[in-house]
Every structure is written in structure tokens, then in C-alpha cells.
Amino acid sequence: MLTILFDGIAYGMLLFVLAVGLAVTMGLMNFINLAHGAFAMVGGYITVLAMQRLGVPFLASLPLAFVGAALLGAVLERTLYRPLYRKPHLDQVLFSIGLVFMAVAAVDYYIGSTQQIIQLPQWLKGRTDIGSLGVGHYRLFIIAVCAVLTVILQYILAKTRFGSRLRASVDDQRVAAGMGINVNVVFLSTFAFGSGLAGLGGALGAEVLGLDPSFPLKFMIYFLIVVAVGGTSSITGPLLAALLLGIADVAGKYYIPKMGAFIVYTLMIVILLWKPNGLFVRQGGKA
Amino acid sequence: MHKRTMLQAAVALALAGTAGLATAADDVFKIGLILPMTGQQATTGRQIEAAAKLWMAQNGDTVAGKKVQLIVKDDASVPANTRRLAQELVVNDKVNVLAGMGITPSALAVAPIATQSKTPLVVMAAATSSITEASPFIVRSSFTLPQASVALADWAPKNGIKSVVTLVSDYGPGLDAEKFFAERFLFNGGKVMDKLRVPLMNPDFAPFLQKVRDLKPDAVFVFVPSGAGTAVMKQFAERGMDKAGIKLIGTGDVTDDDLLPEMGDVALGVVTSHHYSADHNSPANKKFVEAFEKANKGLRPNFMAVGGYDGMRIIYEALKKTGGKGGGEALLGAMKGQIFESPRGPVFIDAQTRDIVQNIYLRKVEKKNGQLYNVEFDVIKDVKDPGKTK
């Protein structure tokens, strides 16, 4: 019972890191980026290639995945995404879906379609039993990394000057620019940071979720559920949503295996019927 | 006058043209090979294509006075694509034989086309038992999941495994594996404690493996498509299930030769049953593995490759026997009943079921010369597909 809860939390935390970047771009920048999963995949492949081809240790490859995905995010924001900010949402959806298919085909072509396997260091393998609770070392590691990230993220958005600038830029670009805020730089760095988080999520998830070129398509639904259920106005919303979904998914598959695959969707429908805008809605901002 | 010569020339040209076409069609024997070359099952396509090309390189491309032409098409494992490609191959390219079929739904989608056009369809990978029943023109060179599962269910109770939990992917081959393993295991006096079905698009095996751990069977019987096998094995080891006294057994898809070298030590000691291992100890296989690795930059052939290699042999032998005369029915007749020595050991194409009869080996993952291999330690001879005996 406790083990299931633990596994569920770890899984939920992983979903959170993967999806939180999407919540940021969608909620704060008001841009629908369905290609978010592609950045996660890029992070995963950076880890795999760094470890297999260059012999980089696992821990060192995690920041690489973050930086790599963030840089790619920055470049694409400047070149492809910026012109689309003012376009209707449908254009954004179609454009980013197209990006996903291109990413899938590119990875398939250059690296191949096989499942990529990474070898974790010894101290991350195995598990420790504490009473009836079985703690997988790697899952504990995921929870720890994600918890730290959440705190940092919450701090940046709520307490720092950058956070206020970002929120100001989103609420009214013209006034923000008039106040001396460089809106372009704010958006660029936010987008890059969100992509970097996705990359880190992909790197962390390669071990648990598997990694092949269809990754962005496979998990797009999960990201969208997390964002839809959690709402896009804060960090706590997607966090709680991801935890809830992770635990429900794992517990559902454990206790009612026959229904297991549907629990997540059922839960999503119930929550959205109850709160159509997600669990947490920011007051006053643009919807 | 001028007009007349033009006309004559045109007629002559047209005649020459048709004659040329006719001889060309007569001299060429076309094999339409439809495989997943992209997408999730791309490794299957890659292995089979490499094996088919190896067979042609080793045996020449002229058989019974005909030039053999291989037309490879990519269906990306989408059955609608497979069907369309098969139609094009039959109608436009006028292929003599259809072959390939990476997954069961693809094979089933093409079956009616094979029947209507009387074109033999050599299934080289897809492994659901019922496939050969979908058309009288289907011949299979791969294996069936009941074949592999039943052999394991015979072996396990004799070797200290009295209770199992089955864990399979929730689709055709998985359900076949579950059904036939469980039935035979019960028949042999074993106990099946639970049957778990994992959604095919499953992100995390944790809840299912935890359930197995809590039920504490002697072993867990696993069937998942080959890519997912690694994830299962890793999480199995990380959950400390081997230390809790639970064994991992399964069909050979779990320790696919294609991925095994990268799996790492978590795979050590896993017992599987299957029709082919790259480590199979016979001169024919040594030659096959060596040639395959040489032609493909060290890529190790897996059970898909051997299905493709033997499929090509079946087509070649049938063509030899019919001398290129007669249509699809004659070819099909010549495919039935073939007996030969494959890299996997002796095989036989059952004339009644058109399915392959072969040895099923029990193997354990061991390290040999620093590399992981499925090392065979026991054999059940001449296993006919149990799905067809009823």
C-alpha cells in the first residue's frame, strides 16, 4: 500500500517536471506549444548519446540535457515561435504538432527507432525496504530532484523581480514595455527555461518511461491532462494534478488492473466537469 | 507514303514493346516484401530486410531461369498502409509472392488480398496463432506464441516453479501467450495466481510488478513486445524481486538478441523459451550469424532475421520446384511440406496448417566472451502450433 503510494508520487513528480514547462508557456505566455514533448525527447536523447558515445556519467548528463533543450528552445523561440505569439490558437496548435512530427522523423532517421537503454550508476539501482514500504532508489532520486525544482520554480515566479516582470509582460505587453521591461528577453528566457525543464524531465524519465522516437506523441496526452486538470495559472496546480494523476494511475493499475488504463481519463473528466478551468484558476489575469 | 511508313514503324514499335514487356514479365520473379522500416517496429523490418538480402547474396538472384526481384515497401506497422501497399504490389507490380508482415494486424489486413489474387503470402514475423487460418494462401516462416509459451509451461513445473503470475501486453500475441501458457501450466499441475494485462502503450510497469511481488509466486511469466522487455527486466531487478525469490520467465521476445547486448547484467539468468538464439550451436547457424554480422556492421541477427531468411528459402525452393510455371497455387503447393535445416535447427512447413513446425529451445541468459547471449540448455522437439490442434 505504502509502496504503491510511493511509486505513484515518483511517477507524478516525473510527470510534473515533464509538464510544468508546458503549463508555464501555456498559462503565462498564452501560447499553446504541443511540441513540448519534443523538447523532453531531445533531453532524453542528449542523455543517452552523452552516456553511450561520450561516456559522460549519468549525473553529469542531467544538466547537459537541461542546457541542451533550453538552448534549442531559445533558438526556436527566436526563429519559429515568436512570429506566432499573436496568431490564433489554432495556428499555434497546427504549427507545433507539425514540429512534433518533424522531430519524430528526424530522430528516427538519425538515431534509429530502437528503444534506448541507459545504465544507471550502481547507487541508484536497487531498493531499500522500510517496514512495508519499498523505496526504489531511483524513484527516491526523482522525488528529491523534482521537489527541489518545484521550490526553486515557485520562488522565481512568486518572489523574484524576474517573476513579476514575466507576469507583467503577460498581462499587458504594451504597458510592460512602456515600464522599461524588455518583453522579448523575458519571453525568450521563460520559453528556454520551460524547454530546459522538459529536457530534464525527458532525461530523468528515460529510465522509467522508456525512450524512442514516438516519445512526444506517446506522452503528449499526459502533459495535456496535467495542464488541463491543474490549470495554467500557478505551479501548485500542475504539481497537485500531476501527483493526483500519478497516484491514481499507479493505484488504479494495481487494484483494478482490468480498468487500469482508463482511471486517468475518468479522473480527468470528473475533475473537468466539476471545475472546467482546472483545479486552480488565477483571478484577474487573462484567461 | 510517308504516312504509311510512320504507321508501320509505330505498329512495329508497339509490337516490339509488348513483346519486350511480355518477355520481361516472364523472366522476372517478383517478391513484394512489406515491412515496418520506420516507426516502433522498425527493428523488425531492418532485421528481415537484411536477412532477405543476405539470402539473395548467398544464393544468387537467378532461380529456375528467372531473375528474382525484391521490392521492399515500408508500412510503418499501420495495417491500412500494409493493405494498400499489398494491393499496389499485386495489381501494378504483379508480384508473384507477397512476404513480410511485421505485426498481426498487418498480416490479417493482407490476407483477403492474398486469397482473392491467389498470391502466396509468406508471413515472416507476425506470430498470432490464427493468422494462417485467415487465408489458405498464407505460409508462415516465423513462429507462433502458443508454440513458445506451451514449451515453457511444460518445462517450468518440472523445475521447481509451481505457481506463477502471468504478465502480458494486452493485444493479440499477448493474449495468445497468456491463454496457452496458463492452460498448459494448469494441466501440468501448476497454479496461476493472477493474470495481469498491461496496456500496450504503457508508460510505467511499477504497479504491475509490485502486484506480482505482493502475490509472491515462484515465477512471473512475461510476454511484452521486444522493446518493452528491457524496461520490465530493469524494474524487476530494481524492485528486488529476484531477491524475494521470484523468477522471471517468458517467451524469447523479452531477451531479444537485437537488444540483449545493451541490456546489462539485469538480464542474467532470465529463462526464456523460443525457436531461435544467435547462440544456437550448429554449423548452419554459425555460418549464418557470421555472414549476417559481416554484412550489417556487427548487427546481431535475431528471431526476426531467421524468419526472413527461412522465408526467402521457402520462396526460392518453391520456385525451383515449379520451374517458374504455374501461378500462385502451384507455388503455394510447392511451399507446403518443405523440410529443411534452418539456422535455428530442423524445420518443417506443415502441409495442412501451412504453419511452421520447429524445435523450441529453453535458454538462459549468460555471459559469453563478455557479451550476453541466450544460451540454450534444453529442447522440445518438433513443436506444432498448439493453437491448431483443437
Chain B positions touching chain A (beta carbons under 8 Å): 38-40, 42-43, 196-197, 199, 201-204, 206-208, 210-211, 213, 227-228, 230-231, 234-235, 237-240, 258-259, 262-264
Q: What is the mean pLDDT of residues B151-177?
A: 91
User: B239 vs A136: CB contact, 8 Å cut-off?
Assistant: yes
**B272: distance to nearest CA of chain A, Å?**
20
Q: How confident is the model at residue B237 (pLDDT cuts 50, 70, 90)?
A: confident
Contact partners, residue B300, CB within 8 Å, separation at least 6: B257, B258, B260, B261, B278, B289, B292, B293
Confidence of residue A283 (pLDDT cuts 50, 70, 90): low
Listed in sequence order, the DSSP H helices in A111-179 are 137-159, 161-171, 173-178
Q: Which residues of A touch B (CB under 8 A)?
A: 3-4, 7, 11, 105, 108, 112-115, 117, 119, 125-127, 129, 134, 136-138, 207-210, 212, 214, 218-219, 222, 249-254, 257-258, 260-261
CA distances from B330 to A77, A123, B65, B128, B321 (A): 62, 63, 17, 26, 9
Integer CA distances (angstroms), A205 to A39, A62, A70, in order: 13, 11, 17
Q: Tell me the chain B residues in contact with residue A258 when contact means C-beta distances shorter than 8 Å.
A: 197
Q: Cα distance from A82 to chain B (closest Cα, Å)?
A: 31
- Residue A44's nearest CA partner among A73, A15, A66 is A66
Helix A137-159 with A2-23: angle, nearest 10 deg: 40
CB contact under 8 A, B199 and A261: yes
Nearest to A197 by CA among A59, A14, A51: A14
Facing residue for A113 by CB, picked from B43, B206, B238: B43
Q: What are phi and psi of A107, to 5 degrees?
A: -65, -40
pLDDT one-digit tens code per residue, A248-261: 988 888 888 777 77
3-state SS class at B36:
coil
Instruction: Please answer yes or no on whether B227 and A207 come within 8 Å at the CB atom.
Output: no
| Residue ranges of domains in chain B | 28-143+281-354, 146-274+361-383
Q: Report residue B25's pLDDT band, with 50, 70 and 90 as the boundaries.
A: low
pLDDT in tens, B74-116: 998 899 999 999 999 999 999 999 999 998 999 999 999 999 9
pLDDT given at position A284: 45
For A167-227, give the DSSP string. HHHHH-HHHHHHTT--HHHHHHHHHHHHHHHHHHHHHHHHHHH---TTHHHHHHHHHHHHH
Query: A4: nearest CA in chain B?
Result: B207
Q: Which residue has the higher pLDDT, A215 or B1?
A: A215
Q: Shortest CA distance to A127 belongs to which of A143, A117, A140, A142?
A: A140
Q: Cβ(A43)–Cβ(A201) under 8 Å?
A: yes
Q: How many CB pairs under 8 A join A and B?
A: 95
Per CB-CB distance under 8 Å, the chain A contacts of B202 are 261
In tens, the pLDDT along B175-233 reads 989 999 999 999 999 999 999 998 877 778 888 999 999 999 999 999 988 778 888 88
**How many DSSP H helices and E strands does chain A contain?**
11, 2
Q: Read off the C-alpha cell for A146.
A: 523534482
Cβ atoms of residues A273 and A258 within 8 Å = no
Q: What would the pLDDT profile of A6-31 be if each residue is shown by its tens digit?
A: 999 999 999 999 988 888 888 777 78
Among the partner residues A112, A115, A249, nearest to B230 by beta-carbon distance: A115
* pLDDT at position B6 over 70: no
Q: pLDDT tens, B336-387?
A: 999 999 999 999 999 999 999 999 999 999 998 888 999 999 998 999 988 8
Which residue in chain B is spatially nearest to A3 when comparing CA positions? B210
pLDDT at B20: 44
Among the partner-chain residues B39, B197, B234, the one whose CB lies closest to the CB of A257 is B197
Averaged pLDDT for residues A239-253: 90
Model pTM? 0.82
| More confident: A206 or B228 | A206
Average pLDDT of chain B? 88
- For B272, the enclosing helix (H) or strand (E) is strand B271-274
Burial of A131 per CB tally in 10 Å (0-12, 13-18, 19+): exposed
Residue B9 has pLDDT above 70, yes or no: no
How much of chain A, in percent, has pLDDT values that exceed 70? Answer: 98
In B, minimum Cα distance to A250 occurs at: B207
CA–CA gap between residue A71 and residue A80 (Å, rounded) = 14
**Chain B residue nearest residue A135, CA to CA:** B239
User: Is pLDDT at B1 greater than 60 in this prediction?
Assistant: no
Q: Among B149, B148, B169, B146, which Cα is nearest to B228's?
A: B169
Span B250-273, pLDDT tens digits: 999 889 888 888 888 888 889 999
Q: How far apart are the first and last CA of chain A?
A: 40
* Domain spanning B146-274+361-383: CATH superfamily: Response regulator (3.40.50.2300)
Q: What is the mean pLDDT of chain A?
A: 87
The nearest alpha carbon in chain B to A258 belongs to: B197
Question: Does residue A285 carry a pLDDT above 50?
Answer: no
Check whether A168 has a pLDDT greater than 90: no
Which of B196, B199, B210 is opposite residue A4, by nearest beta carbon?
B210
**Dist. CA B390–CA B380, nearest whole Å:** 20
Interchain CB distance below 8 Å, A253 and B237:
no
Give the residue-averaged pLDDT of B326-334: 90
Q: Given B197, B213, B231, which is nearest A210 (Cβ)?
A: B231
What percentage of chain B exceeds 90 in pLDDT? 63
Amino acid at B240: G
> Angle CA(B388)–CA(B381)–CA(B339) in degrees, nearest 5?
75
> Span B28-143+281-354: which CATH code?
3.40.50.2300
Cα B155 from Cα A245, distance rounded (Å):
41
Neighboring chain A residues of B206 at a CB cutoff of 8 Å: 7, 11, 208, 250
Mean predicted confidence (pLDDT) in A278-284:
65
Contacts of B102 in chain A (CB under 8 A): none
